[in-house]
Amino acid sequence: MSHPASPHELRATLDTLFASVNRSDAPGLVVGVAHQGRALYRRGFGLASLEHGLANTVWTRMRLASTSKHFTALAVLLLAEDGLLDIDASVRRHVPELPTLQGEPSLRQLMQHTGGYRCYLDIGCLADGETACKPKGEALHAQARQQGVNFAPGEKMMYCNGGYHLLSLVVERVSGLPFRHVLRERIFAPLGMHDTTLAPSDFEIHRGMATLHEPVPAEEGGGWRRGISPPEDVGGEGSIVSTVDDMLRWLAHLRGPRRVVGRDASWRQMLTPTRLNDGTEIPYGLGLMVHGYRGVEVIHHAGGVNGALCQMITVPAQALDIILMTNGAPVSPTALSYRIIDAVLGDARLDAPTPEAASTAFTPMLGTRYHAPGSGLVAAFAEAPDGRLGLSFLNHAPLPLKDDGERLQIDLDAIAIGPISVAKAALARDGEAPSTLEIREGGHAERYQRLPATPPGARAVSDGLLGRYQCADMAAQARLRLEGERLRLELVGAYGRQTLDLEVWADDVLGLQPALGVLNLERDADRRVRCWRLDTLRSRGLRFERRSDGPNEC
C-alpha cells in the first residue's frame, strides 16, 4: 500500500478499515491516530451501552486492561527516583507475606515478567471459572499460598498479572498513599490526563465509561452479556480507564524526547530489552514491548479483560501514535493497529513484511503433536488462517509461525511467553513427520517426542484415573469422571466451579477443552494415577493429589 495522497484519502482508507464496527446495534470501539503532532483520525464506533443505546465517542472512557502495566512500572521507578526503594531488591522486602520459593524475584523482574511467580488470575479462573467474582485481598492471598513457581527468577519470561498486582501493593506500602492517588498526582495530573483514572472493580460506576460486553454463544440464545472481571481489587495489572485524547497525549510524552514525568534514566530502563539468565534477549522492557516492525521500531502494549481489548502503539521515528480501545467489538486491536501503520506510512517508508511459513511446505507436520517428557509441555502443528503453518503451544489456539530464514518462531508479543521456535530444517516437507523435535521456549531448548497419531480411547485411559483430587496451590478440588466415551474434569474452587472436557492425546497426556492447558498423569506400578500435573501458558506444575477413588462428589 502506498502512502495516501491526502489526509482525506487517508481518512477514507481508515473508514474502510473500521467499516465492520460502524453500526448502531452492537458494542464497538474508539480509535485515535496522530502523526507528527497532528490528530489524523479520532472516531468512536458502535455502542458504549447496548442497554441505554448510547454511542461510543472520542470522549468515551474505556478500560486499558494490561496496557495499564507500564504506568505501574513508571510509578515504581518514580519512587526509586525519590530514593524510597531499590528496584533490584527482593519483592519480599516490601511484601513479606510472600513465601520463599526458588529465589526471591526483584521488583525489576516482576516488571519484566521474569520473576517466575504463577499468576493469581490464571489460577483463579481455572479453579472458579472466568465469571466468579473474588473479594478484595484474594489476589494477594492467592500469591502468598503458592508452594511452587513457574521457574526460578530470570530463567524465562512468562506473563504474570500477579507480579504487577504485587507492584501496585509495593507502591502503596512505600508511598503510604493509595495506588490511584500516586498515579493521579505523579503521572495523570502533570500531563493533563484528567479523564484517566482507576477502576479496580467492574462494579464501580464511572462517569462516561463504556459498558463492557461479551457475546453469548448462539446455542445459548445469542446476544450480549456484561463483561465482568473476577477480581474486586484489580491494581497495577490492569485497572486504568482512559480516553482517546488522554492516551494520544500520553503517547506523545512516552516517545519523548522531552518528558515531564520521569527522568531519562528511568525511561531508558523502561525501554531496554530484558536479558534472561542465559543471555537470551527478549523484546520486553519494564511494562513495554520494544521491537521492529517492517523496518521501523515500535513501542507498544496490548490489553484484554472480559469484554474489552486495547492496543497502544507508537512509531517514535515517525511520531506516529495509535490508540485502540474496544468494549466488545469482535476485532483484534493489535491487528488493526499494524494495518493503520501500514496505511499511514505506506510501503515507501516500510520494509516488506516478515514472511510466514506456508502450511503446504510442511504438509507432513500438520496434525502432529509433540510432548516433552521432562517438563510435560506439548506443541502441535496445525494450519493457521490464510494457509499459514501454525503452532499450538500448551493447547493454545494455533498461531502462525514467522520465518526468519533458519528458524520458525512465534514471537513473544503474540503469545506473551517465549518466544517459541523450532529449526526449519528439522521439519518434514515430505514423507513422515520426525519422531523427535527440539523446541525452544525463550533460551531453553527441550527435546519433544511425537505423540501417537491414534491415541487410546477415553475408557482405556480412565482405568486408574477416575476419582477425586485436590490442589493446595489452587485451593481447588477436582473430580475426574467418565460420561459415556467422554472424560470430564470438574474443578471446584472457593468462589465457583466449572466442568471441562478432556481430549486424550496419549496414555498419560490429556488436553483440556476448551483449550486451556495440558494434564500429565503420574501412575503407580499398578497403573493407578496418584497425582496429575496441570500446565497452562502462565501457570506450570500445578499438582493435583488423589483423595479418593470412584465417582464421588467434590
CATH number where 328 lies: 3.40.710.10
pLDDT-above-70 percentage for the chain: 98
Model confidence at 150: pLDDT above 50:
yes
Residue 246 and residue 63 in contact, taking contact as beta carbons nearer than 8 Å: no
Q: What per-residue confidence (pLDDT) applies to 551? A: 53
pTM of the model: 0.95
Query: What is the band of 554 on the pLDDT scale with cuts at 50, 70, 90?
Result: very low
Query: What is the band of 175 on the pLDDT scale with cuts at 50, 70, 90?
Result: very high
Tell me if 256 is assigned to some domain. Answer: yes
Q: What per-residue confidence (pLDDT) applies to 131? A: 84
What is the residue range of 464's domain? 458-549
Amino acid 394 reads L
Query: What is the band of 130 on the pLDDT scale with cuts at 50, 70, 90?
Result: confident
Q: Are residues 439 and 470 in the same domain?
A: no
Query: What is the band of 6 on the pLDDT scale with cuts at 50, 70, 90?
Result: confident
Residue 412 and residue 282 in contact, taking contact as beta carbons nearer than 8 Å: yes
Burial class (CB in 10 A: 0-12, 13-18, 19+), 144: middle
Q: What per-residue confidence (pLDDT) applies to 7? A: 83
The arithmetic mean of pLDDT across residues 134-145, rounded, is 95
Residue 236 and residue 301 in contact, taking contact as beta carbons nearer than 8 Å: no
Q: Are residues 393 and 505 in the same domain?
A: no
CA distances from 46 to 29, 61, 208, 284 (A): 7, 14, 15, 33
Model confidence at 28: pLDDT above 70:
yes
Q: Give the integer Cα–Cα distance in Å for 43 and 513.
A: 38
pLDDT in tens, 81-110: 999 999 999 999 999 999 988 889 999 999
Q: Are residues 469 and 434 in the same domain?
A: no
Q: Are residues 160 and 257 in the same domain?
A: yes
The count of structural domains within the chain is 3
Residue 208 and residue 195 in contact, taking contact as beta carbons nearer than 8 Å: yes
pLDDT in tens, 154-169: 999 999 999 999 999 9
Q: What per-residue confidence (pLDDT) applies to 102? A: 84
Q: Are residues 106 and 252 in the same domain?
A: yes
Tell me if 365 is assigned to some domain. Answer: yes
Model confidence at 430: pLDDT above 60:
yes
Query: Last residue of some domain: 385, 420, 450?
Result: 450
Query: What is the band of 516 on the pLDDT scale with cuts at 50, 70, 90?
Result: confident
Q: What per-residue confidence (pLDDT) applies to 33? A: 98
Q: Are residues 269 and 194 in the same domain?
A: yes
Q: What is the mean pLDDT of the chain?
A: 94
Q: Are residues 250 and 178 in the same domain?
A: yes
Neighbours of 554 (CB within 10 A): 14
Q: Give the integer Cα–Cα distance in Å for 68 and 427.
A: 39
Query: What is the band of 317 on the pLDDT scale with cuts at 50, 70, 90?
Result: very high
Q: Which residues pair with 309 in a beta bridge?
A: 304
Q: Give the integer Cα–Cα distance in Å for 483 and 481.
A: 7
Model confidence at 340: pLDDT above 50:
yes
Q: What per-residue confidence (pLDDT) applies to 483? A: 94
| Closest of 463, 439, 466 to residue 450, by C-alpha | 439
- Count Cβ neighbours within 10 Å for each residue of 87-96 and write b for 16 or more, e otherwise: beebbeebbe
Q: What per-residue confidence (pLDDT) applies to 553? A: 43
Tell me if 350 is assigned to some domain. Answer: no
Q: What per-residue confidence (pLDDT) applies to 513? A: 87
- Count Cβ neighbours within 10 Å for each residue of 365-404 and write b for 16 or more, e otherwise: beebbbbbeebbbbbbbbbbeeebbbbbbbbbebbbbbbe
Model confidence at 15: pLDDT above 60:
yes
Q: Which residues pair with 274 in a beta bridge?
A: 282
| pLDDT-wise least confident of 128-132, 144-148, 286-290 | 128-132
Q: What per-residue confidence (pLDDT) applies to 552? A: 44
The CATH number of residue 506's host domain is 2.40.128.50
Amino acid 368 reads T
Query: Last residue of some domain: 450, 470, 493?
Result: 450
Model confidence at 2: pLDDT above 60:
no
In this structure, the strands spanning 54-55 and 38-45 are unpaired
pLDDT in tens, 525-541: 999 999 999 999 999 99
Q: Are residues 183 and 108 in the same domain?
A: yes
Amino acid 10 reads L
Q: Which residue has the cell 477480581?
A: 231
Q: Are residues 424 and 388 in the same domain?
A: yes
Q: Are residues 155 and 112 in the same domain?
A: yes
The CATH number of residue 435's host domain is 2.40.128
pLDDT in tens, 199-258: 999 999 999 999 999 999 999 999 999 999 889 999 999 999 999 999 999 999 999 888
What are the residue ranges of helices labelled H in 38-148? 69-81, 107-112, 120-128, 138-144
Q: Are residues 328 and 387 in the same domain?
A: no
Q: Are residues 173 and 292 in the same domain?
A: yes
Q: What per-residue confidence (pLDDT) applies to 550? A: 61
Amino acid 262 reads G
